[in-house]
């Protein structure tokens, strides 16, 4: 996999310090100029984003290989809340330094028909070079596998970006596809700009979760496909 730009060397000192203080070990900047992104209150688009990773508790993640549990639902909510707090704080810090910014909420489903948010966190993350999209339609990182949640803040700060990840590293592994109880994963490999439906039947996934796991955030949680990912299981071995 291509190397992530070492922003600890080239980013502003204040940004490095902010990430260090908030214990964010994996982060990067994404060039989004070729994509349709969010706008600020004046209608101006954001051309860049800061993307970062918050790891999930690995022992909780490995416990949901047969289905979600309350511990996972609690961890999911805790990490999402933490990401939202960090996003708001980082956006405020950026504005205080004279730049534009806009935080992207974690797991905020603003389009209930198409089951998606305002912008994919995963797109910013792949373009920042943090990882690739697995066959389970989730970001996979080298340090933490897919046992993570993502944060994104849009900005107009021009930082060294990427290089973007433009291929997957799942090889022939189909473990996530095999265990999906909703049979919602096609098994196709990800590449940049591939339509989501070529990898995931999001309606089938959503319906299964609502029918079987409604007690966990009204069917918003499953995680089985991520729990069995070999890149995540390596975290426990380490």
Using one digit for the tens of pLDDT, what is the confidence trace for 93-142?
999 999 999 999 998 888 888 889 999 999 999 999 999 999 999 999 99
Place of tokens 């591939």: 194
- Going by pLDDT thresholds of 50, 70 and 90, the confidence category of residue 2 is very low
The percentage of the chain sitting over the pLDDT mark of 90, rounded to a whole number, equals 85
- Going by pLDDT thresholds of 50, 70 and 90, the confidence category of residue 237 is confident
The whole-number average pLDDT for the span 15-41 is: 94
β-bridge mates for residue 27, sequence order: 52
CA 94, CA 142: separation in Å to the nearest integer? Answer: 28
- The pLDDT score that the predictor gives to residue 107 is 85
Quote the tokens at residue 121. Answer: 């966190």
Q: In this model, does residue 236 exceed pLDDT 90?
A: no
CA 187, CA 200: separation in Å to the nearest integer? Answer: 9
- Going by pLDDT thresholds of 50, 70 and 90, the confidence category of residue 5 is low
What's the whole-number average pLDDT of the chain? 94
Q: How many CB atoms lie within 10 A of CB 235?
A: 19
Determine the 3-state secondary structure of 30 from DSSP: strand
CA 155, CA 50: separation in Å to the nearest integer? Answer: 7
CA 217, CA 214: separation in Å to the nearest integer? Answer: 7
The whole-number average pLDDT for the span 188-201 is: 96
- Going by pLDDT thresholds of 50, 70 and 90, the confidence category of residue 3 is very low
Helix locations, the chain, DSSP H = 7-10, 13-21, 58-62, 70-96, 121-127, 175-179, 202-212, 224-227, 230-237
Q: Residue 7: how many CA atoms within 13 Å on its side-chain side?
A: 29
The whole-number average pLDDT for the span 201-215 is: 97
The pTM (predicted TM-score) of the whole model is 0.93
Q: In this model, does residue 9 exceed pLDDT 90?
A: no
Q: Pick the range with the lowest mean pLDDT from 3-7, 62-66, 212-216, 217-221.
A: 3-7
| Helix, strand, coil share of the chain (percent; to 5) | 35, 15, 50
């Amino acid at each position: 996999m291509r190397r992530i730009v070492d922003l600890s060397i080239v980013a502003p000192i204040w940004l490095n310090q902010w990430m260090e203080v908030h214990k964010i070990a994996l982060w990067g900047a994404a060039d989004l100029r070729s994509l349709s992104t969010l706008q600020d209150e004046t209608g101006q688009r954001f051309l860049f984003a800061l993307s970062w990773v918050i790891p999930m508790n690995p022992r909780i993640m490995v416990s949901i290989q047969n289905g979600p549990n309350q511990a996972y639902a609690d961890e999911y909510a805790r990490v999402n809340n933490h990401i939202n707090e960090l996003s708001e704080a980082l956006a405020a810090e950026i504005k205080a330094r004279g730049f534009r910014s806009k935080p992207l909420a974690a797991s905020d489903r603003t389009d209930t028909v198409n089951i998606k948010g305002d912008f994919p966190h995963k797109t910013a993350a792949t373009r920042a070079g943090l990882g690739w999209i697995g066959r389970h339609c989730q970001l996979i990182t080298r340090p933490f596998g897919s046992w993570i949640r993502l944060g994104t803040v849009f900005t107009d700060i021009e930082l060294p970006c990427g290089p973007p990840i433009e291929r997957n590293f799942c090889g022939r592994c189909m473990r996530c596809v095999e265990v999906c109880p909703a049979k919602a994963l096609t098994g196709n490999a990800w590449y940049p700009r591939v339509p989501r439906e070529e990898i995931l039947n999001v309606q089938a996934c959503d319906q299964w979760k609502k029918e079987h796991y409604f007690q966990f955030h009204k069917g918003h949680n499953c995680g089985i496909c991520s729990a069995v990912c070999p890149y995540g299981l390596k975290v426990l071995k380490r």
